[in-house]
Amino acid sequence: MNRKLSQTIAFTVLRISTLFVVVPVLLVMYFIISRGWRSMSWSFLSTMPAEGGVSGGISGPIIGTLILVTCTIGIALPLGLLSAIYLSEYAKPNLFTRVIRLAIVNLAGVPSIVYGLFGVGIFLLFLKMQPSILVASMTLALLILPVLIVGAEEALRSVPQGFRDASLALGATKWQTVQRIVLPNALPGIITGTILGLSRASGETAPILFTGAVALMGHMPHSLHDPFMALPYHLYMISAASGATVPEYMQWGTALTLLTIVLTMNIAAAIVRLHYRRKQVW
């Protein structure tokens, strides 16, 4: 067969396949923005859901999600960062390190609902805690831990070895080198990874289903020991779980709000990455 012809055919097939990804994404953005936009108003964003989510707004779920992800990152970031420092700066290429990497890969692959079950098992059944923001954010923290570790480790590794050597040659100890040379230089990358972790945490539903999220609450949570409403769970409740009584525009409005929060974080992460890559001296 004509080699040129087969190449043309093959490349055409590749281009068409790409359309199968691009067109749905554009369609989805179009639908969510055009339909969600109609329900957008200050009162929709700033009032609590009423009548079982049929009327009112989504302020409770928005605030709940923001508090939840803040706590989640507060728990996960120190752990993830230290773990990444170990892997990047201290770990030797031995079996222990290999097992850690395997553990990270597997944590990343554990289904989100299994994290939810684990949260129920360890926090509610074993430690006898009550479903709350705290329990849900500890559960979510586990889920985003692999994201944070992988992101931070990559950032730490991208700091040139020469920086470390120079610091050590000047008589700094290993920890001083890590603390004053490696970490500051890896900061943009670490921030990027952290924002991506936040984005992931704000969209998750399954892990918080039984660990603290509730369908409806008349008030905002008063403390970290209170249950809370969350945007993803709210979207599930007013679309799939309830019997078609919720007006569609509210569903689209909730979807648009959630997607806006998540994508804003992703865009922020991309901007941080681009900005610092340009400024990078090495």
Q: Which of residues 54-83 bind another protein (CB under 8 A)?
A: 79, 82-83
Write out the binding residues for another protein, residues 213-232 only, by CB under 8 A: 232
Integer CA distances (angstroms), 207 to 65, 111, 138, 212, 250, in order: 13, 9, 10, 9, 24
Regarding 108 and contact with another protein (CB under 8 A), the answer is yes
Residue (of 165, 162, 150, 158) closest to 183 by Cα position: 158
Regarding 11 and contact with another protein (CB under 8 A), the answer is yes
CA 89, CA 112: separation in Å to the nearest integer?
30
Residue from 45, 63, 66, 100 binding another protein (CB under 8 A): 100
User: How is residue 75 written in tokens?
Assistant: 């728990």
* Dihedral, 40, 44, 49, 51 alpha carbons, nearest 10: -90
* Least distance between another protein and beta carbon 92 (Å): 11
Residue from 74, 111, 160, 184 binding another protein (CB under 8 A): 111
Regarding 166 and contact with another protein (CB under 8 A), the answer is no
Where do the DSSP E strands lie in 52-196? 55-56
User: ∠ CA 231-141-66 to the nearest 5 degrees?
Assistant: 30
DSSP state of 50: E
Residue from 67, 69, 191, 209 binding another protein (CB under 8 A): 209
Q: How many CA atoms are closer than 13 Å to the CA of 97, on its beta-carbon side? A: 11
Regarding 37 and contact with another protein (CB under 8 A), the answer is no
Residue from 181, 190, 259, 272 binding another protein (CB under 8 A): 259
> Which of 194/251 has CB closer to another protein?
251
> Which of 11/50 has CB closer to another protein?
11
Residue from 67, 69, 77, 85 binding another protein (CB under 8 A): 85
Regarding 235 and contact with another protein (CB under 8 A), the answer is yes
